[in-house]
Amino acid sequence: MLDDYERAALRDIQRRLSDDDPDFARSFGAGAQRLERAATPLLPREAYTIMTVFGAAFAVISLLAGSPFVALLFAGLSGWTWYARSRGAEKGP
C-alpha cells in the first residue's frame, strides 16, 4: 500500500507520461487501475465504541471527583471518537 506522498509522486509521473507521450500512456489504459484512497477505517468499529464508552465514563468520574477540566477533556475525546466512528460507517464497507 502506498502512502500519500508516494501516491502523489506516482500521479505526477503518470501525468507527465501522458503529457509527454500520449500514445505510450494510452497503451497501458486497458489494464491500468486508478489509485483511490481506501475507504476502510483505521480501527474496527468496536474499538471506537469502546473508546467512546470509556471516555464518557471517565468524564463522569472526573466530574464527580471535582475535576471539570479533565472531565471536559474526556468528553471531547468521547465526542471525537463518536464522530470518527460515524464517519467510518459512511465510508467503510
Q: Is the pTM of this model over 0.75?
A: no
Q: pLDDT, tens digit, for every residue of 31-54?
A: 555 555 555 556 777 888 899 999
The domain locations on the chain are 1-37, 40-93
Q: pLDDT, tens digit, for every residue of 7-31?
A: 888 888 878 877 887 777 677 665 5
- Amino acid at position 89, single letter: A
Among residues 88, 92, 58, the alpha carbon closest in space to that of 75 is found at: 58
> Higher model confidence: residue 18 or residue 69?
69
- Whole-angstrom distance, CA of residue 81 vs CA of residue 52: 6
Identify the band that residue 67 occupies on the pLDDT scale cut at 50, 70 and 90: very high
- Amino acid at position 36, single letter: E
